[in-house]
């Protein structure tokens, strides 16, 4: 403890100076060397503000009297959490295991207890208040440059610790003080711009740039460049001519990329430029090919920041070691840089997670969030831990796959935010302020049943069970609560709002919790305005901000608004919904949020499929109904249904729900429709929506309402985003406009027909049929209720199939086992037939490929067209004459007549059927409706479809886990006989070896558990430029796990697609090893052996033989005992593959 040294002015000031040093050393871990430097500095001649110094000394002794802490809070907190996590991991716990969170909840309780014990937040806030309110005014009045430079170290150290705590407005205040004390400090001059931009204080950042221009110049290789980058970032957010700014940023990036040197400042510039280009991707008509993919830019920014952190603190990302920041407080400047890089890395990663979540890339986002959570524990940061947990809960709420973890994650919330229980005091459960005041919610019976199902019966007596239930709800705190959460919230506004957001997530996006969140958002405006005023005063500028909310707060509020509108918008009162939309549009920053809210604001149009006679009754959706898919996708429809016909829909079809009442209102208003059949008001809304899309279509991966415009662009958007992220050439993996889409369809080979099945938000199943010589065909096939009987039967069958597979290892009665398997195979056969009969019905024939019509066939199609049908429909009807019976063909004619609004009587239908009879008579006399030679010709003439591969250049991986002995016995010898093949048996390749094989081989054969991801990981696949046709003979290797509406799901097929794999063959569900081994042997025999009869081998014009892989799959099904459960499980994703060499097996056997 520093003792008094006299009563003179110099002595008083030295006491104050030494006390601040003591405060920093004791509670902020200031190194002893710096403390000594401050104590030994020359005396200060001060003639002013003696009263201030006296007050400082008085405060010093008051604090010393109540201060009984002997050790630094940070010194004890860091190793405490590290040791706690390590102890659990030594007992088998995996922090990154997200299947349940009971241990995470226990660690969270320990975390809160440690924060409450060591009071790190308390001492940090005390130091900041002492500096900003009492000591800074005196120091800033000093005239001695030496003394000002010495005291400039204090706000730098404070700023460093405030950065770790995430209190960025206070960081700006401290940095502004440091600059005013030492104008030659380049670190502070750069970082103040960095954090002003992060907060969205664009006008204040612009003012700081003006101040920067007047400060003494700083010499350095990249100093002027980094200031210029900040100037461009500010201009990008404030000026109207943004394209010129983007060009400058791209030029700066290209210049930096050409430099060969690797310095701290260069990496800092690169990270900053990638952040700027990420922002630029939000601009209208942004060229992603030039700017770069947003997620790719974000990844590179994070990669650069990671390198900067590792070079300053090598062990920071090493989970085997604890974080000991106190050891880095040797040089205030270096320590400030380290803390800033850590904070920049955290904030950049948070933004990346939001991007991943909104693009549906949930699996990758989940892993990153868990890393942030663990990092927050190691840093002892409650605000950061809560941000990570909020993101995780949002992912859980978005994904059906992760939804079962919701209840377990609620326990973590309770552990963090509830008042810690005391054995002698249970009264701390009243209302909390300044926190959101969320009312406690009693668990429902369903929630309790779900918890019992997931985690089993609770052990112990009834009292323990009651305590468990209490842990699964959020409690509110009273105004006098002194818990660590309330104490931290008093000075951390962002934490206050994040707690309200946590309550919103905890309450499953309920309207009540959103109303509480919106109220908190409004009440915090005044407090954020005061923080803005403090920054202005510190900088010495008077700037009126358009919005005082930091960008992070705006982003959190808008995320909540979108989620609430998406879930509850249709069921809420119109005035409440419109108020939320108005309030949400004001603070919009991210473009996807603005576009989504704009779409949710639009009124739904009429359901244009419910009137179709073959459609089941429409099912009301929890989502806001979007515009008609068929109408909005004009280029891919036969003909838009006329509005006049829509008005003829029977009134009995109109439901009494709120949504359908609004539809009926639209029908009444339709009397004012224009000549083109659309109400003028809807014309305006339609044009506005299309204008939004035309300007921001490059952001389609993150705009949910895009799915209402183009079927093709609404498919696998998350997978395409991942592909665009990893692609080195910057390919967009999307169609820039409608004309580009048409060009791509017209470039398809004539023997290839693309058929897409699309289930929209209203659960209408659409069939889209594309061919290079046809007008695309779009048909609404059927409405599938969520509780569809066929879906239930399929789910039950797959569960029984999994159980029967496990039974194979224990059942000794082979007859009983195969009887069960054959029963399941029969059930699968029935389901397959029922799908065709109940779902596809008259449209099942449209799954067949298009045929090229002969001259006579074209003449027949023209006769159909003369009766009111479109050219595309007429050609379909002609080619189906040879496929369908007369009765089936007539029903198809009637379906197309309804779709195209062709007014036909019974007599006219009979006349069309007579045409069919005439065609059949002509065919019997030698004419043909179809060009029989077209298929064989186009298959040979078109490249690169189908893709030719050389079977000799193959690689196999057999049983990498080493636990499928029977599979090895069946396949190993057969594989070894093919001497030109390379492979591994009973061992797994390293990532580099796998990458080499996938990029150099034509075939990759995998025989083992699943898709092999457990052995080499999905990331290893994605990072390859895969040329190998990948055949994955493992259980559920090609299965897609449903995650929720609008999400791609989880599947290894997506990983191979991202790697540009030409074709993936895999299993949709569990298969027995013996059966799938038999399938595999039959498949390779077809492709590579001359045992197959010669008639199944095709020959090209040069006489060489080849075989289609898809034919090999069909042939291999005949070798299975169970043609549906095993043969039907194997499917192919990708291009048609041709094996150009078919004598491998015989040639090797002859040796």
pLDDT score of 733: 62
Q: How many CB atoms lie within 10 A of CB 608?
A: 20
Contact 710, 736 (CB under 8 A): no
Strand partners, 288: none
pLDDT score of 529: 92
By CB atoms closer than 10 A (0-12, 13-18, 19+), residue 528 is: buried
Task: Supply the DSSP symbol for 1045.
Answer: T
State the pLDDT confidence band at 808, using cuts at 50, 70 and 90: low
Share of the chain above pLDDT 90, in %: 28
By CB atoms closer than 10 A (0-12, 13-18, 19+), residue 359 is: buried
Across the range 89-93, mean pLDDT stands at 88
Express each pLDDT in 914-948 by its tens digit: 888 888 777 777 677 776 665 432 333 333 455 67
pLDDT score of 458: 37
- Phi then psi dihedrals of residue 976, to 5 deg: -70, -25
Q: Where does 814-907 show beta strands of DSSP type E?
A: none
How far, in Å, CA of 58 to CA of 52, rounded?
10
Q: Is 90 exceeded by the pLDDT of residue 951? A: no
pLDDT score of 768: 83
- Highest-scoring range by mean pLDDT, 195-199, 222-226, 455-459, 568-572: 195-199
pTM, full prediction? 0.74
Closest CA to 851 of 920, 769, 758: 769
State the pLDDT confidence band at 796, using cuts at 50, 70 and 90: very high
Q: Is 90 exceeded by the pLDDT of residue 171? A: yes
pLDDT score of 695: 60
What's the mean per-residue pLDDT of the chain? 75
Contact 1003, 1013 (CB under 8 A): no
Q: Is 60 exceeded by the pLDDT of residue 384? A: yes
Q: Is 90 exceeded by the pLDDT of residue 494? A: yes
Contact 860, 915 (CB under 8 A): yes
Express each pLDDT in 206-235 by its tens digit: 999 999 999 999 887 789 999 999 999 999
pLDDT score of 620: 36
- What is the SS3 string spanning 697-754? HHHHHHCHHHHHCCCHHHCCHHHHHHHHHHCCCCCCCCCCCHHHHHHHHHCCCCCCCE
pLDDT score of 49: 40
State the pLDDT confidence band at 553, using cuts at 50, 70 and 90: very high
Closest CA to 404 of 447, 443, 362: 447
How far, in Å, CA of 838 to CA of 91, rounded?
53
State the pLDDT confidence band at 273, using cuts at 50, 70 and 90: very high
Express each pLDDT in 28-51 by its tens digit: 433 333 333 333 333 333 333 444
Helix or strand holding residue 912 (H, E) = helix 906-924
State the pLDDT confidence band at 730, using cuts at 50, 70 and 90: low
40-44, 496-500, 761-765: least confident range:
40-44
pLDDT score of 21: 53
String of DSSP letters for 170-204: HHHHHHHHHHHH-TT-HHHHHHHHHHHHHHT-HHH
Integer angstrom CA distances of residue 45 from 49, 144, 535: 12, 9, 30
Q: Is 70 exceeded by the pLDDT of residue 609? A: no
Across the range 943-955, mean pLDDT stands at 71
Distance in Å from the first CA to the final CA of the chain = 90
pLDDT score of 601: 62
681 or 719, higher pLDDT: 719
Q: Which domains does the chain have, with CATH numbers?
A: 9-68 (no CATH), 629-783 (no CATH), 789-936 (no CATH), 943-1150 (3.40.50)
Across the range 708-727, mean pLDDT stands at 60
6-20, 356-370, 990-1004: least confident range:
6-20
127 or 642, higher pLDDT: 127
Q: Is 90 exceeded by the pLDDT of residue 13? A: no
Q: Is 50 exceeded by the pLDDT of residue 464? A: no
Express each pLDDT in 818-870 by its tens digit: 888 899 999 999 999 999 999 989 999 988 888 888 888 888 888 888 888 88
Q: Is 80 exceeded by the pLDDT of residue 473? A: no
pLDDT score of 907: 62
pLDDT score of 701: 34
How far, in Å, CA of 349 to CA of 345, rounded?
6
- Phi then psi dihedrals of residue 1142, to 5 deg: -125, 20
């Amino acid at each position: 403890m520093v003792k008094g040294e006299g009563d003179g002015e110099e002595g008083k000031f030295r006491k104050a100076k030494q006390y601040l040093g003591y405060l920093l050393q004791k509670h902020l871990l200031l190194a002893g060397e710096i403390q000594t430097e401050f104590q030994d500095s020359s005396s200060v001649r001060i003639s002013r503000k003696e009263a201030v110094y006296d007050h400082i000394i008085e405060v010093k002794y008051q604090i010393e009297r109540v201060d009984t802490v002997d050790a630094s809070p940070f010194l004890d907190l860091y190793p405490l959490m590290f040791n706690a996590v390590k102890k659990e991991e030594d007992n088998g716990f995996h922090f990154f295991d997200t299947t349940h969170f009971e241990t995470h909840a226990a660690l969270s309780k320990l975390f809160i207890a440690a924060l409450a014990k060591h009071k790190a937040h308390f001492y940090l806030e005390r130091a900041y208040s002492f500096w900003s309110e009492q000591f800074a005014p005196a120091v800033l009045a000093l005239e001695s440059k030496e003394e000002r430079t010495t005291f400039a170290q204090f706000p730098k150290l404070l700023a460093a610790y405030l950065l770790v705590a995430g209190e960025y407005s206070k960081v700006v205040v401290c940095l502004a003080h440091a600059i005013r004390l030492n104008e030659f400090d380049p670190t502070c001059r750069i970082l103040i711009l960095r954090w002003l931009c992060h907060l969205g204080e664009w006008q204040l950042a612009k003012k700081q740039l003006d101040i920067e221009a007047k400060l003494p110049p700083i010499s350095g290789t990249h100093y002027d460049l980094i200031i210029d980058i900040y100037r461009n970032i500010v201009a990008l957010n404030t000026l109207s001519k943004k394209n010129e700014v983007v060009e400058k940023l791209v030029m700066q990036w290209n210049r930096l990329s050409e430099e060969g040197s690797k310095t701290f400042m260069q990496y800092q510039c690169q990270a900053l430029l990638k952040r700027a280009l990420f922002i630029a991707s939000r601009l209208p008509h942004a060229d992603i090919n030039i700017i770069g993919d947003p997620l790719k830019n974000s990844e590179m920014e994070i990669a650069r920041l990671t390198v900067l952190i590792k070079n300053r603190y090598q062990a920071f990302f090493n989970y085997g070691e604890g974080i000991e920041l106190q050891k880095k407080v040797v040089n205030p400047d270096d320590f400030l840089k380290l803390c800033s890089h850590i904070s920049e890395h955290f904030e950049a990663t948070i933004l990346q997670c939001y991007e991943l979540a909104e693009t549906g890339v949930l699996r990758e986002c989940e892993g990153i969030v868990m890393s942030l959570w663990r990092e927050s524990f190691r840093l002892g940061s409650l605000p950061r831990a809560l941000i990570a947990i909020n993101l995780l809960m949002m992912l859980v709420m978005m994904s059906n796959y992760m939804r079962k973890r919701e209840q377990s994650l609620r326990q973590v919330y309770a552990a963090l935010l509830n008042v810690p229980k005391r054995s002698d005091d249970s009264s701390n459960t009243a209302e909390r302020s300044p926190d959101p005041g969320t009312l406690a919610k009693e668990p429902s019976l369903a929630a309790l049943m779900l918890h019992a199902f997931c985690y089993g019966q609770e052990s112990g007596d009834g009292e323990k069970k009651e305590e468990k239930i209490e842990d699964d709800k959020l409690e509110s705190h009273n105004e006098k609560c002194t818990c660590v959460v309330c104490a931290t919230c008093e000075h951390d506004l962002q934490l206050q709002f994040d707690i309200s957001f946590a309550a919103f997530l905890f309450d499953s996006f309920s309207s009540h919790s959103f109303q509480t969140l919106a109220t908190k958002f409004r009440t915090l405006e005044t407090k954020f305005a005061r923080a803005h005023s403090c920054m202005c005063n510190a900088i010495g500028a008077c700037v009126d901000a358009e919005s005082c909310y930091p960008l992070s707060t705006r982003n959190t509020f808008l995320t909540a608004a979108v989620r609430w509108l998406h879930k509850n918008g249709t069921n809420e009162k119109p005035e409440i919904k419109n108020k939320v939309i108005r309030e949400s549009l004001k603070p919009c920053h991210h473009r996807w949020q603005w576009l989504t809210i704009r779409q949710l604001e639009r009124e739904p149009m009429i359901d244009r499929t419910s009137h179709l006679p073959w459609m089941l009754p429409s099912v009301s959706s929890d989502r806001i109904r979007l515009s008609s898919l068929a109408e909005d996708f004009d280029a891919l429809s036969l003909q838009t249904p006329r509005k006049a016909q829509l008005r003829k829909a029977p009134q009995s079809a109109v439901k009494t729900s709120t949504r359908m009442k609004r539809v009926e209102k639209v029908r009444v208003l339709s009397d004012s429709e224009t000549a083109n059949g659309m109400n003028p008001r809807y014309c305006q809304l339609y044009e506005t929506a299309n204008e939004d899309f035309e300007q921001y279509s490059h952001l389609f991966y993150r705009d949910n309402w895009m799915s209402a415009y183009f079927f093709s662009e609404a498919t696998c958007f998350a997978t395409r985003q991942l592909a665009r992220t990893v692609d080195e050439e910057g390919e967009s993996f999307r169609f820039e406009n409608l004309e580009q889409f048409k060009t791509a369809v017209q470039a398809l080979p004539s023997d290839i027909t693309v058929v897409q099945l699309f289930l929209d938000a209203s659960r209408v199943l659409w069939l889209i049929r594309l061919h290079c010589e046809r007008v695309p065909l779009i048909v609404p096939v059927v409405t599938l209720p969520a509780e569809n009987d066929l879906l239930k039967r399929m789910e039950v069958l797959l569960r029984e199939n999994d159980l029967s597979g496990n039974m194979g290892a224990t059942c000794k009665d082979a007859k009983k086992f195969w009887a069960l398997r054959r029963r399941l195979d029969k059930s699968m056969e029935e389901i397959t037939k029922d799908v065709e009969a109940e779902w596809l019905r008259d449209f099942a024939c449209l799954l067949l490929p298009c045929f090229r019509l002969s001259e006579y066939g074209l003449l027949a199609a023209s006769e159909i067209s003369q009766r009111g049908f479109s050219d595309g429909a007429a050609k379909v009807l002609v080619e189906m004459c040879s496929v369908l019976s007369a009765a089936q063909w007539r029903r198809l004619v009637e379906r197309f007549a309804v779709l195209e609004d062709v007014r036909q009587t019974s007599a006219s239908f009979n006349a069309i059927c007579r045409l069919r009879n005439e065609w059949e008579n002509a065919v019997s006399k030698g004419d043909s409706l179809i060009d029989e030679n077209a298929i064989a010709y186009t298959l040979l003439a078109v490249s690169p479809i189908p893709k030719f591969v050389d079977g000799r250049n193959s690689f196999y991986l057999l049983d990498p886990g080493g636990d499928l002995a029977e599979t090895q016995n069946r396949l190993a010898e057969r594989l070894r006989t093919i001497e030109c093949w390379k492979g591994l048996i009973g061992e797994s390749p390293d990532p580099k070896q796998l990458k080499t094989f996938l990029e150099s081989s034509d075939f990759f054969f995998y025989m083992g558990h699943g898709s092999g991801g457990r052995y080499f990981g999905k990331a290893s696949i994605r990072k390859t430029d895969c040329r190998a046709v990948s055949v994955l003979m493992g259980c559920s290797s090609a299965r897609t796990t449903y995650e929720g509406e609008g999400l791609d799901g989880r599947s290894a097929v997506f990983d191979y697609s991202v790697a540009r794999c030409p074709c993936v063959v895999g299993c949709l569900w569990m298969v027995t090893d013996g059966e799938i081994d038999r399938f595999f042997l039959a498949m390779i025999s077809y492709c590579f052996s001359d045992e197959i009869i010669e008639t199944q081998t095709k020959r090209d014009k040069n006489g060489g033989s080849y075989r289609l892989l898809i034919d090999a799959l069909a042939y291999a099904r005949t070798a299975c005992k169970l043609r549906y459960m095993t043969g039907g499980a194997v499917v192919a994703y990708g291009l048609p593959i041709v094996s150009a060499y078919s004598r491998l097996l015989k040639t090797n056997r002859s040796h």
